[in-house]
Amino acid sequence: MTKARPLSLITGASAGIGAAFARALAARGHDLVLTARRTDRLEALAVELHDLHRVNTTVLTNDLADPHGVEQLCTALGERGLQVDWLINNAGYGVPGRFDQSDWSVHADFLRVLVTAPTELAWRLVRGMRERRYGRIVNVASLAGHVPGSAGHTLYAASKAYMIKFSQSLALENLGLDVNVCALCPGFTYSEFHDVTGTRALVSKMPSFMWQRAEAVVLEGIDAVERGEAVHVTGRFNRTVKGLFKLMPDRMALKMSAKQSKRYRAQD
């Protein structure tokens, strides 16, 4: 049964979709645990949401690229007696450029943040959700996980495809327990993502109808996980893109991906 004040843990909560999830869930009366690497931003957001909605906010600065990051985060939760009802696995970023141009340590950190850490968090927290017979897990994936890979950001689509399949399986394992799991798959979203990867100039040329605001993505995600959708692609345009690529022969889809990815990927 749902608690009067569910507790939501949001990774990557300092900006973008993560901060939008924090604001939306606080508005619904959720207490929050906010985690990311930037303490100052987390603390500012925590104060904002406490003052606005009178919810309890806990800041736990954490680097999920650290192999022990998830264990340390869950230890901190246990020490504070915090039981997570909603897990928003949102932390993520991209590594632009050709695969061999980055050191392996860069790719290893990326895989820990986008694949290993969210998987481990789900493993550590879903047991309590099952015991309490209530929980929600939103794994922020991407439309990129549904379409052919592209040159540049070599591991990004692969990591998101993994999160989609993982979410589907975890959702099936928890049917009938009121523990819902959803892979949320946005397309282009207004956030700092492209500033960090250095592709802002490229993507700014994309037409406005291809973009969504983080707040709209989050509202769709909350509704989808509450309905029990295992996978949800946000926005009519993105759902159309997914459908078109699903119908195309693989060779044609790869050719189109190769052509179009030059518009938004740093490939060299």
Q: What is the pLDDT of residues 163-210, one digit of tens each?
A: 999 999 999 999 999 999 999 999 988 765 544 544 445 556 666 767
d(CA 105, CA 92): 16
What's the whole-number mean pLDDT along residues 35-47? 97
d(CA 241, CA 73): 37
What's the whole-number mean pLDDT along residues 156-164? 97
What's the whole-number mean pLDDT along residues 124-153? 95
3-25 pLDDT, tens digit per residue, is 679 999 999 999 999 999 999 99
CA 159 to chain centre: 11
pLDDT at 194: 46
222-240 pLDDT, tens digit per residue, is 999 999 999 999 999 999 9
pLDDT at 166: 98
Q: Which of 156, 162, 190, 264 is catalytic?
A: 156
Helix (H, G, I), strand (E, B) or coil at 86: strand
60-112 pLDDT, tens digit per residue, is 999 999 999 999 999 999 999 999 999 999 999 999 999 999 999 999 999 99
Place 150 in a pLDDT band, splitting at 50, 70 and 90.
Answer: confident
pLDDT at 3: 66
Task: Specify the range with the lowest mean pLDDT, choosing from 40-44, 136-140, 255-259.
Answer: 255-259
pLDDT at 198: 47
Residue 133 has pLDDT above 90, yes or no: yes
pLDDT at 210: 77
The closest of 41, 45, 34 to 76, measured between CA atoms, is 34
d(CA 44, CA 19): 11
pLDDT at 202: 53
Residue predicted with more confidence, 145 or 3 = 145
What's the whole-number mean pLDDT along residues 46-56? 97
Domains along the chain?
A: 7-263 (3.40.50.720)
pLDDT at 265: 56
The tokens for 144 are: 């990129």
d(CA 69, CA 72): 5
245-263 pLDDT, tens digit per residue, is 888 888 887 888 777 766 6
Active-site annotation holds for 162: no
